[in-house]
Structure 1
Amino acid sequence: MIRHALIASVLAVSTMIAAPTAANAGDLSGKVRDAAAAPVAGAQVVITELGVSAITDAEGVYRFHGLDAGKYRIAVELADDVRQHASAQVPETGEATRNIFLYSSAALDHARSGINPVEALLAEALMAQAWEEASRMTAQAEGREERAVPEFAG
């Protein structure tokens, strides 16, 4: 009887030692933002090879707990069937952060036609900035507001 209890105790202890614990798992989190850097709520973030997903909250935050260490491909899916990908490296312990900035539909259209989507995204931002500046200048000219000219000492 004592022999059986001793064997059962040894087996229980060896099982506890061999079992993975939460301390041996990594976490992955981040924010999903659109091309204008606004948080994207309600996007589905998927790690396909693991079959797990998370939905971003109102601030665009997603989180995965207890992942094995390694590199993963992440897919961000929006309601209009748009899917964009990123990769993330998960540590053995602790948390990795992988923020994801989504390309605009115009940048994706450029990418489909062979133009670098990063360059298209930058061109879009510059064009928007130029449009805002032109609109401001037009409003000033129509209102005939005087513009302050900086004085230069020299």
Structure 2
Amino acid sequence: MTTRLALILAAAALVPTAAHAGELSGTVRDASARPVAGAQVVIPGLGLATTTAEDGTYRFDDVVEGEHRVGVELGEGNRQFASASVPAEGEATRNFFLYSARSVAVAETGMNPVEAMLLETLAARAWDEAREVAANEETGEAVSWRWRDLDG
């Protein structure tokens, strides 16, 4: 009887069990925080792919529980990857903020890509302010200094 029980338990261990699955969703935004429509989001290890909607959102249902590498592909071989931990039940969120090519180039020199992206945005705003001051100088209009938030 003990041998029979051992054989039954061994056979039961060989039968695959149903894997737990959760959902993974998020939003893809460009370096200016605008939603990116039509970007392909992939989970290469699972062979899954989807495309972002007009508002930059994406969603995967029934993703096997665990840590996964998730990527955004924008064409011409441009990809950005991050990891996502998907629960056995429920939903995980992985948002993407895509770096500009300039931010990536700066990051290759050792600077954090997020800092590079912020530096690029602030530099662009400073040039806009300088152009406005120069235009006012030519027309003789008074310069009005004001703080502009990142939304413009």
Partner of 1:130: 126
Q: Give the superposition deviation at 1:25.
A: 2.5
Cα distance 1:148–1:101, how it changes in 2: closer, same or farther (>3 A)? closer
Partner of 2:106: 110
Partner of 2:137: 141
SS of residue paired to 1:71: strand
Q: Give the superposition deviation at 1:72.
A: 1.1
State which of 85, 96, 100 in structure 2 corresponds to 1:100. 96
Q: Give the superposition deviation at 1:131.
A: 1.0
Number of aligned pairs?
A: 130
TM-align CA RMSD: 2.1
Gaps of 5+ in 2: 1-15, 146-152
Decide whether the 8 Å contact of 2:133 with 2:143 is kept in 1.
Answer: no
Cα distance 1:105–1:126, how it changes in 2: closer, same or farther (>3 A)? same
What is the rounded CA distance, in whole Å, between the counterparts of 1:132 and 1:115 in structure 2?
Answer: 24
What is the rounded CA distance, in whole Å, between the counterparts of 1:115 and 1:65 in structure 2?
Answer: 36
State which of 66, 73, 80 in structure 1 corresponds to 2:76. 80
1:63 paired with 2:59, answer: yes
Decide whether the 8 Å contact of 2:28 with 2:36 is kept in 1.
Answer: yes
Partner of 1:41: 37
SS of residue paired to 2:83: strand
Cα distance 1:96–1:55, how it changes in 2: closer, same or farther (>3 A)? same
Cα distance 1:115–1:148, how it changes in 2: closer, same or farther (>3 A)? closer
SS of residue paired to 1:92: coil
In terms of fraction of residues, the more helix-rich structure is 1
Q: TM-score, normalised by structure 1?
A: 0.75
